Chains A and B, each alone.
Chain A
Amino acid sequence: MKAVITVIGRDMVGILAKVSSKCAEHNANVIEVTQSVMQDVFAMVMLVDISGLSCDFSHFVEEQKQVGAELGLSIHTMHEDIFNSMHRI
Chain B
Amino acid sequence: MYNASDILETIRMIQDEHLDIRTITMGISLLDCADSCIGRSCDKIYDKITSRAEHLVREGEEIERKYGIPIINKRISVTPIAMLAGASGGDPVQYAHTLNRAAKAVGVNFIGGYSALVHKGFSPGDEALIHSIPEALSQTEFVCASVNVGSTKSGINLDACRLMGGIICDCARKTADRECIGAAKLVVFCNAPEDNPFMAGAFHGFGEPDCVINVGVSGPGVVRAALQGAGDCDITQVADIIKKTAFKITRMGQLVGAEASERLGVPFGIVDLSLAPTPAIGDSVAHILEEIGLEKCGIHGTTATLALLNDAVKKGGVMASSKVGGLSGAFIPVSEDAGMIDAATQGSLSIEKLEAMTAVCSVGLDMVIIPGDTHPDVVAGIIADEAAIGMVNSKTTAVRLIPAIGKKEGEQLHFGGLLGYGPVMKVGRGSPSKFIARGGQIPAPLQSLKN
Query: A: which residues have CB within 8 A of B?
Result: 4, 6, 8, 32, 34, 36, 43, 45, 47, 57-58, 61, 74, 76-83, 85-87
Contact = CB atoms under 8 A, between A and B. Distances in A.
Contacts of A6: 7-8, 11
Contact of A86 (B1, B4, B8, B251): B251
A80 B255 CA distance: 12
A82 B255 contact: yes
Contacts of A78: 10-11, 66-68
Interface residues of B, number: 22
Interface in B1-48: 1-4, 6-11, 15
Given A78-B11, A85-B251, 5 more contacts: A77-B68, A82-B68, A83-B2, A83-B6, A86-B10
A61 B61 CA distance: 14
Contacts of B8: 6, 8, 43, 45
A76 B6 contact: no
B65 A58 contact: yes
A61 B68 contact: yes
Interface string B44-80: 0000000000000000001001111100000000000
B83 interface: no
Given A61-B68, A77-B68, A81-B255, A87 B6 contact: yes
A45 B7 contact: yes
A87 B4 contact: no
A62 B271 CA distance: 29
A47 B252 contact: no
Which 6 residue pairs spanning A and B have beta carbons closest together?
A78-B68, A58-B65, A82-B67, A87-B6, A85-B255, A85-B251
B157 interface: no
Contacts of B6: 83, 86-87
